[in-house]
Homo-oligomer: A and B are copies of this chain.
Amino acid sequence: MHSQHSSQPVFRALADPTRRVIIAMLAEGPRRIGDLVVEFDMTRPAIAKHLAILKQGGLVCVENKGRERINRLNPDALKSAADWINQFEQFWDEHLTKLKAVVERET
């Protein structure tokens, strides 16, 4: 049952709402840190820390372009979180089946 690959950094990265918004923004296209900062009521070091955690989780990768740094979303890491959750797909299928059975018996 328990999957092996440590999904800890990914779930940790997903835990913060600011980071999830950053993920949504990067899904629309690559951004520099400055581009992200102006969207939040927060200083740059704060966003930089969030990006660092997203990188740790493998969710974001960076490309150096002169003095700029382009941040890109790496969807593969997100997929690994989805995979962990989907371990339980079978469980909730059964759950819904049972629920349906109960409802049908009651009507």
Looking at the complex, which one of B1, B11, B78, B86 makes contact with A15 (CB distance below 8 Å)?
A: B11
Q: Shortest beta-carbon distance, A78 to chain B, in Å?
A: 6
Interface residues of A in 8-61 (CB under 8 A from B): 8, 11-12, 14-15, 17, 20-21, 23-24, 27-28
- B-side contacts of A7, CB under 8 Å: 20
Q: Count the copies.
A: 2
Interface bracket on A:
20 to 34
- B85–A73 contact, CB under 8 A? no
Q: Which residues of A are at the interface with B, using a C-beta cutoff of 8 A?
A: 1-2, 7-8, 11-12, 14-15, 17, 20-21, 23-24, 27-28, 73, 75-76, 78-79, 81-82, 84-88, 91-92, 95-96
